[in-house]
Amino acid sequence: MQLVRPTEDYLASYVAALQRGWSADTIRGVIAAKEELAKIESDPTAFVASLEDREAKGAPVTLPDGSTVARIPGFRRWMWDGEFAGSIDLRWQKGTTALPTHCLGHIGYAVVPWKQGHGYATCALKLLLIEAATEGLPFVEITTDSDNFASQRVILANGGVFVGHFTKLPQHGGKPSRRYRIALL
């Protein structure tokens, strides 16, 4: 498995995953998948370009409750093993480690169900941490639901240190969650 920068060369495999009902947005799920499929159908080149937005020039972000917020800098990488296997993204604010309250962590990831259990998320996080360090962040924070033991293992395998418990805001599902920090420097 490797991380690839999204390009139109990989897009058909990504579309196939969305058509199967997968979405990196684990709260909005199928709705988010349909929105992405519509964007791809409308302008595939613009869609792929939107996944690398280090200057936060893109359109506002739709939160799980349907509200929108200003975009922050970030980019997405795709997990690739000959076909699309999942997605991982990094987001940050320039000059600070702080994130807006609507942003749960610096990194989010999701593996398609038919590729889970093969260590892809662990490998993807390891590779993305290398890229995150180039953004000048001394650490990243990652959150996961308290009952998502697989994600907790991924974070711990990459040096994650438990920071504390919290409850997600209602627009993110209001679930009990855990916050971890991974040092980069």
Give pLDDT, residue 128: 97
Q: What is the pLDDT of residue 26?
A: 82
Cα separation of 22 and 100, whole Å? 26
Confidence check: pLDDT of 90 > 90: yes
- The Cα 184–Cα 159 span in angstroms is 10
d(CA 31, CA 22): 10
What is the number of domains present in the chain?
1
- Structural domain of 55: 2-183
- The whole-number pLDDT of residue 83 equals 97
CATH number of 176's domain: 3.40.630.30
Q: Is the pLDDT of residue 68 over 90?
A: no
DSSP 8-class letter at 123:
H
* C-alpha dist (Å) from residue 110 to 135, 164, 170: 22, 22, 21
Mean pLDDT of 85-96: 95
Inform me whether the pLDDT recorded for 130 exceeds 80. yes
The per-residue pLDDT for range 7-64, each reduced to its tens digit, is: 999 999 999 999 999 999 888 788 889 999 999 999 999 999 999 999 999 989 877 7
Q: Which secondary structure element, helix H or strand E, spans residue 159, and what is its range?
A: none
pLDDT the model gives residue 173:
78
pLDDT in tens, 141-185: 999 999 999 999 999 999 999 999 999 887 777 889 999 999 997
**How far is 124 from 115, CA to CA, in rounded Å?**
13
